[in-house]
Each structure stands twice: as structure tokens, then as C-alpha cells.
């Protein structure tokens, strides 16, 4: 019986260590090379960061398709999509939802930018954007502006969905004026 309890205790501690390490991964710092990735889009095709080399990239992580905050955030990016295009920037949304869920979310909300399926949360981990919620691992609401050379230019952590697109556009304009 003692061996059984000891084994269970070890397994519980190991599981806690894994979940704590996943939650404490640090986001890449400004000036660092943006972590590379290849994920399936809402269109069912693979997309990688290198596909957007030479462009500004707004890479935003969000918890879940069809939820109120995530829908508001996505709608605001869609509302401002022409402003991003004029600034030479693409928007890429990332969550742990499936490509099929992303496809349905884009169709329902009229989204014309790519959503990427990070089912195993690997990319979310690379960007320090993983959280636990009700026993599930989700992408945390963080955004990264990546410059045309593939470097992290700006980091937004724990963003509020309502005014976030305006905040990103202002930061993007400031960064581009410095270039």
C-alpha cells in the first residue's frame, strides 16, 4: 500500500511540474527571433511563419472560438483589416481549436484572415501563451507584432479584447515610423 501511495504521489508531482512549466514558459522578448511554426489554417492548408517573411505579422493568441471575448477581438481585427493591409501587415489568430472549428468560426463571423489550429498547444507554449482553464490547456490572450525580418517587435500580454485592435494598430504605426 505504501508503494502504491508513493507511486501516486510521484505521478501527481510530475504532472504538477509539467503543468507549471507549461504555464510559466516565457514569451519571446522584443528583438528575439520569432519562433518558427507550421500549423493548419481554417482553410485546411498549412501555413508557416516563413510564408510571411518580408511582411509585418500580427500574431494573436486567443482561448476559444465562439466565445464572447474571442468573438469581439476577432470582429475588431476584421473591422480594421483594411488598415492592417494598408500598413503591410497580416493578421494570424492562433488557438487550440481545430481547423474545422476555425473554418466554422470564420464563416459565422465573416472573418477574412487566417486562424491557425494549435491543437497540441506547442506554438502557444513557444510564445509563452498557454493557460489552464477548467482542466483544459488553452491559448492565453497575448499578441506579438513580428517585423518583416522575423524579429519580435512588440509584445502584448493578457490583453483586453475590446480595444486591442486599436492598440495594435497604434503600436504598428509607431514601429513602422521608427524603421
Per residue in 6-50, pLDDT (tens digit) is: 444 443 444 444 443 344 489 999 999 999 999 999 999 999 999
Q: Assess if residue 170 is contained within a domain.
A: yes
Alpha-carbon distance of 132 to 103, in angstroms, equals 24
The answer to whether residues 62 and 115 touch, using CB atoms and an 8 Å cutoff, is no
Predicted TM-score (pTM) of this structure: 0.85
31-47: b or e for each residue (b if 16 or more CB lie within 10 Å)?
eeebbebebbbbeeeeb
Q: Which residues are catalytic?
A: 70
Instruction: Look at residue 2 and tell me if it is in a domain.
Output: no
**Is 16 a member of any domain?**
no
Whether 8 is in a domain gets the answer: no
The neighbouring-strand residues paired with 91 are 58
Q: Which three cell numbers stand for residue 38?
A: 507550421
Structural domain including 123 reads 27-178
86 lies in some domain: yes
CATH code: domain of residue 91: 3.40.30.10
In a domain, 97, yes or no: yes
Give residue 113's pLDDT: 98
Residue 17 lies in a domain: no
Read off the pLDDT band of 179 (50, 70, 90).
Answer: confident
For the chain, what is the domain count? 1
Would residue 71 count as lying in a domain?
A: yes
Amino acid at each position: 500500500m505504501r508503494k502504491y501511495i508513493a507511486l501516486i504521489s510521484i505521478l501527481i508531482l510530475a504532472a504538477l511540474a509539467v503543468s507549471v512549466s507549461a504555464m510559466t514558459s516565457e514569451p519571446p522578448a522584443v528583438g528575439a527571433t520569432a519562433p518558427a511554426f507550421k500549423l493548419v489554417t481554417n482553410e485546411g492548408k498549412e501555413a508557416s511563419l516563413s510564408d510571411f517573411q518580408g511582411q509585418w505579422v500580427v500574431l494573436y493568441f486567443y482561448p476559444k472560438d465562439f466565445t464572447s471575448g474571442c468573438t469581439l477581438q476577432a470582429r475588431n481585427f476584421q473591422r480594421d483589416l483594411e488598415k492592417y493591409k494598408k500598413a503591410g501587415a497580416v493578421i494570424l489568430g492562433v488557438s487550440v481549436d481545430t481547423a474545422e472549428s476555425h473554418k466554422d468560426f470564420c464563416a459565422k463571423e465573416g472573418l477574412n484572415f487566417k486562424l491557425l489550429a494549435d491543437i497540441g498547444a506547442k506554438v502557444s507554449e513557444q510564445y509563452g501563451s498557454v493557460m489552464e482553464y477548467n482542466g483544459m490547456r488553452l491559448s492565453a490572450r497575448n499578441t506579438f507584432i513580428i517585423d518583416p525580418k522575423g524579429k519580435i517587435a512588440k509584445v502584448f500580454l493578457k490583453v483586453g479584447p475590446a480595444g486591442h485592435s486599436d492598440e495594435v494598430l497604434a503600436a504598428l504605426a509607431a514601429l513602422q515610423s521608427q524603421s
